[in-house]
Structure 1
Amino acid sequence: MPAFSLDPPQTAWCAELRTLAAERLRPLAEKGEPGHVNRPLVVELGQLGLLKRLFTSGAVDLCLMRESLAYACTEAETALALQGLGAHPVHAYGTPAQRDRWLPGVIDGSAVAAFALSEPGAGSDAAALELAAEPDGPARWRLTGEKCWISNAPEADFYTVFARTTPGAGARGVTAFLVPADRPGLTGTGLDMLSPHPIGSLDLDAVPVTADDVLGEPDRGFRVAMGTLNLFRPSVGAFAVGMAQAALDATLAHTARRDAFGGKLRDLQTVAHQVAEMALRTEAARLMVYAAATAYDEQAPDVPRRAAMAKLLATETAQYVVDRAVQLHGARALRRGHLLEHLYREVRAPRVYEGASEVQRGIIAKELYADMEAGQ
């Protein structure tokens, strides 16, 4: 079983990231237009060297970045994560030409990436994809169908699009394509979401692609998708832990200074016990996240199970901690602009995207039974 602990340089780097997020990234985030890609923020992430680290370090570093940024600026964390999610398939499965064309722009923030997997009838069930890649001559296809709930759509510069090249083959008939945003037939619409991130739908009307656009191998796109998600699922947990820690610290400060019933809120046992439970769950989630990230970096065989456990526990924990924080703050936490009002909107989506909590439980159970049968 992988063990995890931060060494002093990592601890110092996390503190530096929180400071950078508060002083340099949050002001840019506050100037962004809700529901749209904040390109100045993405460029600043590139200038700080954080986007480059998406491709030069491992899962532990990714988690450290996401937790630290989330603590001080969730918008910066999300912008970083979406660049990584959209471009990781190019980095890991792309040809030299594909990498040379797109990764420099991703790293300096001038090119915005997107990961286009979900469809109206195929969200967490990636094997049920229906967007069709219809043959259009030797090593050529036309993509026709719809993608929805796509982060950075419709404003990204390129998309990793998963399409069905072999009908009726389930997960074995999906191919990943790198599709530039200016391809004929590709259009999109923004969606108004609870937390105003850039999210939209894509319509593909006979969009032309060739073998030069394939990421990995034809009919092996499910491997590209799962390889990407196994890396990013633990880091979704890190995002959640960062939000939970921010809510916990705000609650500690509030309950220590708030007068109530002849003393401070912290003096009430019911309050103190709730704060203790918030801290307990946050630390447990953090340990599971970094154990999963360490397993990924060490290429352990149980990464899918650990990644699912980390995402599940951390996102459910963050929901609990933020909700408790709101309760202990009272009405002030519901006022527009309060940190907890912001976190309350931010914390809900991670329990749904990149595989809902119910899907993570299914993965965990499947892996457990597979291990049992392999040992018999």
Structure 2
Amino acid sequence: MPAFSLEPEQIAWCGELRTLAAEQLRPLAEKGEPGHVNRALVAELGRLGLLGRLFTSGALDLCLMRESLAYACTEAETALALQGLGAHPVHACGTPAQRDRWLPKVADGTAVAAFALTEPGAGSDAAALELRAEPDSGGSVTAEPDGPAGWRLTGEKCWISNAPEADFYTVFARTTPGAGARGVTAFLVPADRPGLTGTPLDMLSPHPIGALDFDAVPVTADDVLGEVDRGFRVAMGTLNQFRPSVGAFAVGMAQAALDATLAHTSRRDAFGGKLKDLQAVAHQVAEMALRTDAARLMVHAAATAYDEGAPDVPRRAAMAKLLATETAQYVVDRAVQLHGARALRRGHLLEHLYREVRAPRIYEGASEVQRGIIAKELYRDVEAVEESQ
């Protein structure tokens, strides 16, 4: 299927999701408390079968879900996305026992997942993680039956979505000091492990974000996701799938802001006519639409590349997230400007989007990091061509 064209069934499904989000999910979102997990909303996402689709759908379907939900209810979109981000490593790399215990609960909305990668001193440079996974009984830790197979996690994580209220965390810790990305291991850590505590952080965006403190938290070989010292692959594999859909979230917000602007400028009287009759306004609206559609196309192209197993997924995913999140920031800001002071009043759609749109330019790799990934991949291609000549 071409990335630039959706099937009629997909278009209809997106419309159904928008209606569902507006009529069933938004009322639950409005009853939630900002900064806390809205478990009623998560449970409804599970009841509707949307959480289960996280593990059966491809990257393009994930993008369509996230854009459609974001258009009508950003809280529902974020709740769905965080379940996927936290649980995807379990789905992709977990043992049968790990999958059987946690994935059905994630899918039905009775267990809340979280992805714990970022640290106070290791945000954009994820390979610089300092959370230590130290052998529990001394010596090297292995998964062999005749060797010790336990660690103690000591250190901090911060800016973790759904913390400290999640039921389990995908945690990335350093098992081999000084090894960079090659010495990181992914662990599945239930929230009730002794020594694991958390603190909520008061943030601009309304979804829950917190810090985690690990005070010699015990984990075993049964908690490892994937292979020891290969956890960075788990993290990057998850991010490569979810980065285009972060772009889809941004596109959904941009489209909502654009549609609100079209309605407002068509009705608003100004200077003897409607706002839309002013060329300066009409051209801004045209630019907003142009950038939104361009971002959507790049998101769909990146997701399709992921689904087809293309070799350039990291570059495409980075491009999609970068363009879409920067575009959404531009579109929402222009929408606020064209609405005037009314858009800054608490409770206005654009006031809500203005707070929501800022964070995606930072999380899952800041815009500057995406540019670095793109450049690295481009020069790698150049080097490959030169070596083959």
> By how many angstroms is 1:204 displaced?
0.2
- Distance change >3 Å, CA 202–CA 306, structure 1 → 2: same
- Counterpart CA distance in 2 for 1:227 and 1:319 is 26
For residues 244-290 of structure 1, the C-alpha deviation after alignment (integer angstroms, 9 at most, x for no partner) is 00000000000000000000000000000000000000000000000
Match status 1:282 vs 2:292: yes
Aligned counterparts of 1:286 and 1:39: Cα–Cα separation in 2: 30
- In the alignment, structure 1 residue 321 sits paired with structure 2 residue 320: no
Q: Moved runs in structure 1, 4+ residues, more than 4 A?
A: 132-137
Contact 2:26–2:76 (Cα < 8 Å) also in 1: yes
Aligned-pair distance for 1:4? 3.1
Residue aligning to 1:25: 25
- Aligned Cα RMSD in Å? 2.0
1:172-201: CA deviation from partner (whole Å, max 9, x where unpaired): 000000000000000000000001210000
- Relative to 1, partners in 2 of residues 1:242 and 1:37: Cα closer, same or farther, differing over 3 Å? same
Contact 2:152–2:218 (Cα < 8 Å) also in 1: yes
Contact 1:244–1:322 (Cα < 8 Å) also in 2: yes
Structure-2 separation of matches of 1:195 and 1:103: 27
8 A contact 1:135–1:142 mirrored in 2: no
Q: CA contact under 8 A between 1:305 and 1:364: conserved in structure 2?
A: yes
Q: Report the Cα distance in structure 1 between the residues aligned to 2:250 and 2:353, rounded to whole angstroms.
A: 10
* CA deviations over 1:306-363 (Å, ceiling 9, x no partner): 0000000000000000000000000000000000000000000000000000000000
CA contact (8 A) 1:114 1:153 kept: yes
CA contact (8 A) 1:322 1:343 kept: yes
Give the unaligned 5+ runs of structure 1: none
Conservation of the 8 A alpha-carbon contact between 2:150 and 2:219: yes
1:51, distance to aligned residue in structure 2 (A)? 0.3
| C-alpha separation in 1, matches of 2:275 and 2:147 | 71
Which residue in the other structure is 2:60 paired with?
A: 60
1:234–1:310 CA contact under 8 A, matched in 2: yes
Q: Secondary structure at the match of 1:150?
A: strand
> Partner of 1:295 in structure 2?
305
Distance 2:123 2:265 in 1: 41
Answer whether contact 1:134 1:142 (CA < 8 A) is retained: no
Alignment of 1:36 onto 2:36: yes
Q: Is the 8 A contact 1:4 1:294 kept in 2?
A: no
Retained in 2: the 8 A contact 1:112–1:156? Answer: yes
Q: How many angstroms does 1:5 deviate by?
A: 1.2
Alignment partners' CA distance in 2, 1:67 and 1:249: 14
Q: Distance in 1 between matches of 2:315 and 2:357?
A: 23
TM-score of the two chains, using structure 2 as the length reference:
0.95
> What is the Cα deviation at residue 136 of structure 1?
14
Query: What displacement does 1:3 show?
Result: 3.3
- Structure-to-structure mapping, 1:114-133, within 5 angstroms: 114-131=114-131
Give 1:149's aligned residue.
Answer: 159
TM-score by length of 1: 0.98
Instruction: Give the drift of 1:168.
Output: 0.2
Contact 1:134-1:165 within 8 A present in 2 as well: no
Cα offset, 1:223, TM superposition:
0.2
Closer/same/farther in 2, CA of residues 237 and 288 from structure 1, 3 Å limit: same
What is the correspondence of 1:1-376 to structure 2 with a 5 Å cutoff? 3-131=3-131, 138-374=148-384, 376=389
* Contact 1:106–1:112 (CA under 8 A) maintained in structure 2: yes
Of all paired residues, the percent bearing the same amino acid is 91
Give yes or no for contact 2:143–2:149 (8 Å, CA) kept in 1: no
Change in Cα spacing, 1:150 to 1:136, as seen in structure 2 (3 Å) is: farther
Once the two structures are TM-superposed, the CA of residue 2 in structure 1 deviates from its matched residue by: 6.4
CA deviation after TM superposition for structure 1 residue 124, in Å: 1.4
Q: How many residues align?
A: 376
Distance (Å, rounded) in 2 between the aligned partners of 1:64 and 1:370: 31
- For the residues of structure 1 that align with 2:152 and 2:273, how far apart are their CA atoms? 69
User: Aligned pair in 2 of structure 1 residues 232, 359: CA closer, same or farther (>3 Å)?
Assistant: same
Distance 1:231 1:331, change over 3 A: same
Given that residues 289 and 311 in structure 1 are in contact (C-alpha distance below 8 angstroms), is that contact kept between their aligned partners in structure 2?
A: yes
> Per-residue deviation at 1:19?
0.2
- Distance, in Å, in 2 between the alignment partners of 1:85 and 1:2 is 26
In the superposition, relative to structure 1, how do residues 64 and 137 fare at CA in structure 2: closer, same or farther (>3 Å)? same
Structure 2 distance, partners of 1:135, 1:3, is: 48
Contact preservation (8 Å) 2:143, 2:221: no
In the alignment, structure 2 segments of 5+ residues that lack a partner are 132-141
